[in-house]
Amino acid sequence: MTIHETGESMTQVTLADEGIAALFGTRDENLRHIERAFDVSLSARGNKVHIGGEPERQELVGRLLRQLSALLDRGYELQADDVDTAVRVLQEAPETSLEEFFLPGGTLERVRERVRPRSLSQRLYLQAMAEHDLVISVGPAGTGKTYLAVAMAAMALQEDLVRRVVLARPAVEAGEKLGFLPGDLEDKINPYLRPLYDALYDIIGFEQVRRMLERGTIEVAPLAFMRGRTLNDAFIILDEAQNTTSEQMKMFLTRVGFNSKAVVNGDVTQIDLPSGKASGLIEVVDILHGVEGIKFVNFTERDVVRHPLVAKIVRAYHSHESSAQGPNAGSE
């Protein structure tokens, strides 16, 4: 620690020369981001960085910089959003080892060839899918539930851990309004399945997905098409599960066959079921709580990794809904 002429105590961190430009960012933009995130001041000269601010914040930022520098020294290629991810992770859990987070072993290492987790919850989610046959995740939009599940499914397919991938999604209005849409049945249901196709195209590639769809290696279908089937050697994803009824959820979970994995995703704040219909996702959390072999993962607005405005929007709605449910809700 050094004392500057202003009388403020500052921490000096000496970093490895390897990758220093990537760590600091263009025009030191990464350092500025760290300053804003932790409310500290940073000044760099060569590979030395001085950190000013509250002692606890100095210590945390020093640990952040040293761990990122150690990653670079090991040959890790720092991507544009890795510093933001590291900041997010240490803000949530300061004791986290960034080396373990960014350089996982086993299955997670192979998944990271396709996607990179951006929060501790996302890493826990990937680990849960690697280690459990049934994973149920609940959280707001933008937390990566569908995207990461598709990435894990693609890895399982590539590694020959499963023979096919099945992605299902409830079409809430199938019994009422789809008949008014133009086209055949496939044309009518495709709008409901588009988010799953988008994730597949982004992770695997359009042409490869098209070939796999033609061969039946990948199947994307409405949940109603799962009835009466048993899915062996498959990675099965149920998306938008908050819009399943109790009967549909039970039907889906009992489709899982031998050597199969199932992932159930949903956001209980966006239920589109008709009034009076209970959500199968809300029920299953209570019914299966404590059952061995099933892993539940909960995401919050802190895990939103879309455009920064999305996280702010989620927080604003959460705050509004909490206020509306207060003791004076509904009063004049």
At residue 5, the pLDDT reads: 40
pLDDT in tens, 237-296: 999 999 999 999 999 999 999 999 999 999 999 998 888 889 999 999 999 988 999 999
Mean pLDDT in residue range 54-66 = 95
- Residue 162 is predicted with a pLDDT of 96
Residue 198 makes CB contacts below 8 A (sequence gap 6+) with: none
pLDDT of residue 3 exceeding 80, the answer is no
pLDDT > 90 fraction of the chain, expressed in percent and rounded: 58
pLDDT band with cut points at 50, 70 and 90 for residue 315: confident
Tens digit of each residue's pLDDT (9 = 90 or more) over 158-184: 889 999 999 998 876 434 344 554 554
By the 10 Å C-beta count (0-12 exposed, 13-18 middle, 19+ buried), 57 is classed as middle
pLDDT band at 105 (very low <50, low <70, confident <90, very high): confident
Cβ contacts of 39 within 8 Å, gap of 6 or more:
53, 54, 57
Return the DSSP state at 174. Answer: T
Please give the pLDDT value at position 138. 96
* Tokens (6 digits) for 224: 């109603």
Evaluate if residue 2 carries a pLDDT over 50: no
Position 85 scores a pLDDT of 92
Residue 176: per-residue pLDDT: 39
Lowest mean pLDDT among 60-69, 80-89, 108-117, 229-238: 108-117
What is the average pLDDT value for the chain, to the nearest integer? 86
**What does the pLDDT average to over 303-307?**
77
What pLDDT is attached to residue 307?
A: 67
Using pLDDT thresholds of 50, 70 and 90, give the confidence band for residue 190.
low
Q: CA torsion, points 172, 176, 177, 183, in degrees to nearest 10?
A: 100
pTM for the model stands at: 0.80
pLDDT at position 42 is: 95
- Give whole-number Cα distances, 53 to 223, 319, 330, in Å: 54, 31, 45
Question: Who has greater pLDDT, 80 or 252?
Answer: 252
Q: What is the pLDDT of residue 246?
A: 94
